[in-house]
Structures are given as C-alpha cells and as structure tokens.
Copies of this chain bind each other. A is one copy, B any other.
C-alpha cells in the first residue's frame, strides 16, 4: 500500500550515506527492511523517519549506544520516561563540559591569533599557551 523506496532515495532524503544506512542496519539501529525480488532493500516511511531520528541524534552527539537505548525505549512506550530522562540528563552534563572546554580553547586560540600577528614563531604564545602553566583547565584522571 504505502510507498517504499530504495536505499539511494532514503540516502538522499535523510542525508545519510548509503553504506552508513547499511551499517546502521548491521549494528541493529534500524530493522532489516523488506527486500524486492531482486534482493534490494526497500524502505517505508517509518524507516525513513527512524533514520532521521538517528541522524539528528548523531549530529547532536549522542553515541550509537545511547541512540539504541532511546530507540529501544521508544519502541516499548509503556516504560517510564525516567529512563529517557536519565539518558538525556547524563548527556547534558557531558555537553556542558564540552562547551566549557571549547570556550576556554576559543579564548586561548583567539589570544594566539591576536598576539601572534607580528614576529616569529619564537615569540609566539601558541606553544606556551597550550603548555600547562597557569590556566589548568582539567584535572587528571
């Protein structure tokens, strides 16, 4: 009934490369789709939607494992939202850390660019700045 499309079309519609779609199937993010007589994958709208979800989540930095969890949860909609919530929450922390690091980096690199415009590398702050004196952003593990 509802229209199905080959993998190339799905690729164009979702912006996910063909081998990557097959990879997502292989690792279980995407259920194996129906096949045509000649063994070609044919996807329905739900699959396309799911791939869009996956792409979006990947772009937002969720790891495949996290996406798998989210998809599993959304596949069994009776479970409490707390599970989804905790996944999201742990990502929030992670994201905040990344933003903090990048912001620090930004100002350091900006300073490089500002100060390093005249003269030679020898006078450049680059190496020094990324050394480890002074602003120690990160504790060791």
Cβ contacts under 8 Å, A84 to chain B: 112, 116, 121, 124, 126-127
Assess whether A61 is interfacial by the CB under 8 Å rule.
Answer: yes
Closest B residue to A122 by CB, please name it: B77
Assess whether A60 is interfacial by the CB under 8 Å rule.
Answer: yes
Q: Distance (Å) between the CB of A104 and the closest chain B CB?
A: 7
Q: How large is the interface on A (under 10, 10 to 19, 20 to 34, 35 or more residues)?
A: 35 or more
Assess whether A5 is interfacial by the CB under 8 Å rule.
Answer: no
Provide the main secondary structure of the chain A interface: helix
Cβ contacts under 8 Å, A81 to chain B: 116-121, 123-124, 126
Cβ contacts under 8 Å, A98 to chain B: 98, 102
Please indicate which of the listed interface residues A57, A91, A102 has the most CB atoms of chain B within 10 Å of its own CB.
Answer: A102
Assess whether A74 is interfacial by the CB under 8 Å rule.
Answer: yes
Binary interface encoding of chain A residues 79-94 relative to chain B, with 1 for a CB under 8 A from any of its CBs, else 0: 1110111011101100
Cβ contacts under 8 Å, A123 to chain B: 81
Q: Distance (Å) between the CB of A121 and the closest chain B CB?
A: 5
